[in-house]
Amino acid sequence: MQDHEVIDRAAERWASGERAEALASLRTRVRAAPAALDVRLALVERYRELGAPDQAGRWGLAVPGLTTPEEQDRAARLFAASGVDASELAMFLVLPEGTALPAEAAALLPEIDRYRKVFQQKAYARWRGADLSADRLGDVIEGALIVALCSWLVTLAIVWGGSILGAQMTGFARWAALLSLTFCGLFSGMVAFRRGSAGRPWVAVAWGAACLALFVGVLRLLALATEHDGVIRFAWEH
């Protein structure tokens, strides 16, 4: 099939609403024959009609002077987000084999590196919930949660082990539970503060209420221990 036939058939599909098929046929032709200028120009125009400057830039950078500054910038962002190496830029732009990298494409290399760093930072921020240098509170919250979970697991293991050996573990279990409740309260309070700082007041109120309830329980258990010389004993045990 000749280039003009590919363009005409793509135009027919485009007119009938089969835009994805039209674009696919043009892309396939350009990949098979990167030097097919008319097909490449038709592909760029179709992407411009769709309002896709990133793709228009990608396919148009092979032609000097064709792409706009916006299309070049969006193409740089697209390349940076693709994760491919800079040495693969010619393949990404589907340049004819042996063709030197166009000056407009070569000029984008610093922008590509800059966007790649920006995307890496954003990806890390999404994973961590905040930038590392500004997320000290997040580290403390994680630490409190880990300590609370570990203390609960250790307590469970000791209580079960002692019970199997016939030891009296009630007192130890209650003090260990008091410690775990304290860490849970700290965790809830820090989460409440963080959510409040992030502009989520209702979530902060919920975590704050949990923090208050936990510390009320902790204070009550401490009061019982004070009343009974260090032994946490409930009213029904008198």
Distance between CA atoms of 236 and 238, rounded to whole angstroms? 6
Structure tokens at 11: 């135009």
Distance between CA atoms of 64 and 120, rounded to whole angstroms? 30
Per-residue pLDDT at 125: 57
DSSP 8-class letter at 237 = G
Structure tokens at 36: 């097919």
In 136-198, where does DSSP find H-type helix?
Answer: 136-164, 170-197
pTM: 0.52
Per-residue pLDDT at 191: 80
Distance between CA atoms of 26 and 18, rounded to whole angstroms? 13
Contact indicator for 158, 176 with CB cutoff of 8 Å? yes
Per-residue pLDDT at 237: 57
Give the contacts of 154 (CB within 8 A, at least 6 positions apart).
176
Contact indicator for 172, 159 with CB cutoff of 8 Å? yes
Per-residue pLDDT at 132: 45
Contact indicator for 80, 115 with CB cutoff of 8 Å? yes
Per-residue pLDDT at 180: 78
The one-digit pLDDT tens for each residue of the chain (238 residues) are 788 999 999 999 999 999 999 999 999 999 999 999 999 999 999 999 999 999 999 999 999 999 999 999 999 988 888 877 778 888 889 998 888 888 988 898 888 888 888 877 765 555 555 444 445 666 666 666 777 777 777 777 887 777 677 777 777 777 777 787 887 888 788 888 877 876 778 888 888 898 898 888 888 888 878 877 777 766 655 5
Structure tokens at 182: 């304290």
Give the contacts of 190 (CB within 8 A, at least 6 positions apart).
137, 140, 141, 144
